[in-house]
Each structure stands twice: as C-alpha cells, then as structure tokens.
C-alpha cells in the first residue's frame, strides 16, 4: 500500500503542485475586493486591499499600483498578475498595513501619454509634455483624490508604483500630482525627463530596470534618474545585469523595497 501511494504521489506531483499554486493565487486575489469608480459616463475598475482589522477610526498609508500593458482589459482581475502577492502576503500585511489600490486600464487606453513605434526593438517611445492625461490616468487621479478626502487615509504616506506601461504612468502621475506622493518606485518604465523637476525634491524614488530589456530601453530609466539627480533628488537605482523586460521579478524580490517605501513620509 505504501509503495502504491508513493507511486501515486510521484505520478501526480505536478498536478498537486499546480493545484497548490492555483489555490494560493486565488486566495491572494480574494483578499482584493472588486470595486468600481464611476464618474459620469466613465467607469474605472479596480481592486482594493484593506489592512487586516481595518477601522475607519485609524489612518493608513495608501499605495497605488499601475500594471503593465499586457494586463489591460475589463475583467478586473488581470491587473493582479504582477505585484499583488507582494502586498497580499500575510507577513507584509502584518508589517505594513496599508490601503492598496490596483486599477485596471481598459484595453484601448494607456496609463501614460506616449507615442510608440513598435517597428524597433526595443520600442521607440516618446513622451509629449503638453498633452492632456489619458482618460484612464485621469480617472486614476480622480480616484486618488477621492480616497485622500477620506479621514482614514494618511495624507503624509501616499505612494505610487508601476511596471512597464505602469512605470510610465507612475512618472506621469508624479509630474501631474507632484504634491501627492511621498515615495514611488518604477520598474522597466520611462518618461519625459523634463517633468522630473516638478517632484524631484518632494518625492523619494527607486527605479528598477533590466540591462537586457529589449522591450523598454533601459536608457529611458537612466535618463529619468539623471534628470532626477540634476533636479536635486537622491534616487535609488537598481539596474539588473541579467534581466530582460521582466525585471519586476527581481524588484519584487528586493528585501528592502517595502521597508524603504513605507518608511517615507511627505516633508
């Protein structure tokens, strides 16, 4: 009987591991409630993680996370693909109780104003300085204004982060809301260096990128870090020598990321 059981385990080990991983993933998604933010005829879908034992009589940090282009859609689920488990883990929820917001960008929209030439590798990206925000980013800014009007949010500890398209959106929302955020981190993103001076001495910054990134040129992050330094900021910059576009795996594995982020407050 023991031999038969052992053979069963060996034969079915892949599926047992798969089921275990799937259950963990679903459990992490379940702690993020599905929410809608409605402004007139426009609706922004988002997922919301509240601290354990949330109380409206207390104040909590607020973190906005902007996903990449591959997670756009209308299912209000795909935006949790990357990064959500970092904030949903039992250890991190205990150590860093916060209100975490994961909005989802519609498939036909973008977090940032950017012209994309997909005929090159890496992509050729240019960021205009005088364009209005996209509908998706405008809704995100209105959503953040709404949350920060509530008494249970700590206005001194507001953060934004994003990867790829979301990293671009992070740089843009920092420029458009320079007084909102105490700290930010971007992963494999980019932006217009001209906008950095609006927030360089107001917002702490950690930039991550993969040196082998063949989708979003790491030089874009280098340019943003350089501009941030010239404007008087003191950024952290992590360039992973062996990473391609998925440098978010290395960034999320950085043990000091969350302690650094949640230690920051507005001056």
Pick the CATH number of 34-262 from 3.40.50.1820, 3.40.50.1000, 1.10.3720.10, 3.30.1360.170: 3.40.50.1820
pLDDT of 180 over the 50 cut: yes
- Mean pLDDT of the 144-148 span: 98
- Mean pLDDT of the 82-86 span: 98
pLDDT value of position 4 = 57
Q: Where are the domains of the chain?
A: 1-30, 34-262
Examine residue 122 and say whether the peptide bond preceding it is cis (omega within 30 degrees of 0).
yes
pLDDT of 104 over the 90 cut: yes
Task: Please state, in angstroms and rounded to a whole number, the distance separating the CA atoms of residues 187 and 164.
Answer: 6
Name residue 100's beta-bridge partners. Answer: 49, 63
Residues 6+ apart with CB under 8 A from 50: 33, 99
- Mean pLDDT of the 63-67 span: 99
89-95: long-range contacts at Cβ-Cβ below 8 A with a sequence spacing of 24 or more?
Answer: 89/28, 92/258, 93/49, 93/51, 93/52, 94/52, 95/258
pLDDT value of position 23 = 42
Q: Which residue has the higher pLDDT, 14 or 121?
A: 121
Bridging pattern class, strands 60-66 and 153-163: parallel
Whether the Cβ atoms of residue 105 and residue 136 lie closer than 8 Å to each other: yes
pLDDT value of position 18 = 43
């Amino acid at each position: 009987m023991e031999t038969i059981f052992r053979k069963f385990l060996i034969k079915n080990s892949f599926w047992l591991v798969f089921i275990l991983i799937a259950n963990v993933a679903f459990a992490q998604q379940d702690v993020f409630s599905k929410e809608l933010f409605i402004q007139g005829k426009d609706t922004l879908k988002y997922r919301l993680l509240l601290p354990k034992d949330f109380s409206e009589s207390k104040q909590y940090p607020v973190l906005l996370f902007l996903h990449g282009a591959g997670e756009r859609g209308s299912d209000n689920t795909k935006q949790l693909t990357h990064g959500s488990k970092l904030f949903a883990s039992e250890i991190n929820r205990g150590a860093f109780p916060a209100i975490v917001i994961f909005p989802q960008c519609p498939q036909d929209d973008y977090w940032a104003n950017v012209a994309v030439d997909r005929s090159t590798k890496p992509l050729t990206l240019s960021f205009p300085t005088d364009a209005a925000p996209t509908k998706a980013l405008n809704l995100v800014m209105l959503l953040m204004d709404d949350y920060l009007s509530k008494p249970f949010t700590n206005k001194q500890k507001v953060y934004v982060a994003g990867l790829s398209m979301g990293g671009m959106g992070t740089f843009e929302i920092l420029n458009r809301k320079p007084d909102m955020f105490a700290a930010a981190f971007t992963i494999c993103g980019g932006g217009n260096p001209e906008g950095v001076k609006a927030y360089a001495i107001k917002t702490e910054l950690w930039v991550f990128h993969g040196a082998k990134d063949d989708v979003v040129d790491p030089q874009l992050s280098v340019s943003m870090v350089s501009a941030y330094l010239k404007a008087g900021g003191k950024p952290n910059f992590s360039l992973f020598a062996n990473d391609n576009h998925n440098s978010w795996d290395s960034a999320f594995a950085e043990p000091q990321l969350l302690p650094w982020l949640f230690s920051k407050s507005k001056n």
